[in-house]
Amino acid sequence: MIENVEKRWAIHHKVISEDAKYKVIALYALSVLLAGFLFNTPLEILKGMGKILTSSSILLTDYMKIANIGSAFFNSGLMMLIAIGVARKSKAHMNGYIIAAVFTIGGFAMFGKNLYNVVSITTGVYLFSRIQREKFGKFILIALFGTALGPLVSQITYGFGLPIWMGILIGNAAGLTTGILLPPLATSFVKFHQGFNLYNIGFTAGIVGTFFMAIFRSFGLETPSVYEVSQGNNLTFAILLGVFFASMILVGYIMNDNSFKHLRELMRQPGRLVSDFVTMEGFGVTMINMGLLGAFGVIYVFVVKGQLNGPTIGGIFTMMGFGAFGKHLRNALPVMLGVFLATQLKLWDVNSTGAILAALFGTTLAPIAGKFGWVAGILAGFLHMSIVMNVGYLHGGLNLYNNGLSGGIVAATLVPILDAFREEDSFE
């Protein structure tokens, strides 16, 4: 039965080897790393990396602002390549979820993740796999996405005024503990939002971060309010990202038998977890979808007259990455429209970095639009804007996936109501 399904899929889809998929994604990661040298010299990048590695990395800490542009791109590409290497070592397929994880890591490596603050968390997940006597590959996605709590390690190490040896010891102990806790919690919490929040680990990390922050506050320790964002580079970044996403569409087109076939089918998918577009529709058309999402993210920033900086580029990368795992223009646009409408009626400026991030990352709720329609998607985005601007206090900026926490709350509240009204309608 399974073999027959695979044969039918192969007839209608061009089969791309795992090696080819890995090479394509690795080349994009390498291009991000090399882009750093367009802005700064190797020595400047090296010095900037020092600042990045010793930063508390609390939301919002734009590495372009505290270090330099070249270092931010270099850090992003480096983190992506390491994630790809870990996936390859674990013998994971380059499927939609791995692609989403790689580009999400790359995006947040612009403003919060670095080689220092992710190692202990990943190691903690590995230790959990050993405790459970399971292969690490089974938990690799949790290990990659769980790096959302990187600022927890950095803040303890550098931000609380502890002696450096003590900060390193306690910070990495907290990272290891976090990594051990994430797998069982992530598995449980997906039931909370029923798979309608694509950033499930973001919700889980938000809960864990809230617990740690509550403990810190009970000892009189508070994280600072951080808003370090760069500006003034829109044209340069637009050209760079334009080439990046256009090439992605072109590569996808070529790998999809020089066509856009199956794109319509992909955009009919609701996107609810688990929606692996690479497996369902093919690698080539998935690349096209990713390029389209990334390009639209850039367009949105320009339409609202915002700034392309570390955080907003991180948001665009994440939205684009999940173009392989649940998002497409048809289910993402309603949520973004809902966030946009909220900024017109509420107290937040539409072109502020926080509001733009809510629109970009808020597409974690795209499955709601995919399942219940445009109106539901707009409503989800509208509600998300209010929630995301208030939940950051709970974890004190320790959870980089703040929108994942907010998305989980919105989905868990809204989906049962939408389901109830659908059930009512079905009896009419």
Q: Quick one: tokens of 327?
A: 């998002």
Give every CB contact of residue 119 below 8 A, 6+ residues apart in sequence: 172, 175
Q: Quick one: tokens of 167?
A: 């900060």
Cβ atoms of residues 63 and 75 within 8 Å: yes
pLDDT for the residue numbered 375: 95
pLDDT for the residue numbered 425: 44
Report d(CA 328, CA 289) in Å as an integer: 6
Residue-wise pLDDT tens digits, 380-413? 999 999 999 999 999 999 999 999 999 999 999 9
- Look at the block and give the residue holding tokens 């990187």: 150
**Cβ atoms within 10 Å of 230's Cβ, excluding its own:** 22
Which residue ranges of the chain lie beneath pLDDT 50?
1-9, 11, 424-428
pLDDT for the residue numbered 15: 78
pLDDT for the residue numbered 8: 47
Residue-wise pLDDT tens digits, 318-371? 999 999 999 999 999 999 999 999 999 978 899 999 999 999 999 999 999 999
Alpha carbon 330 to its chain's center: 19
Nearest CA-CA partner of 275 in 283, 284, 285, 266:
266
Residue 60: cis peptide before it, omega within 30 degrees of 0: yes
Phi, psi for residue 61 in degrees, rounded to 5:
-115, 95
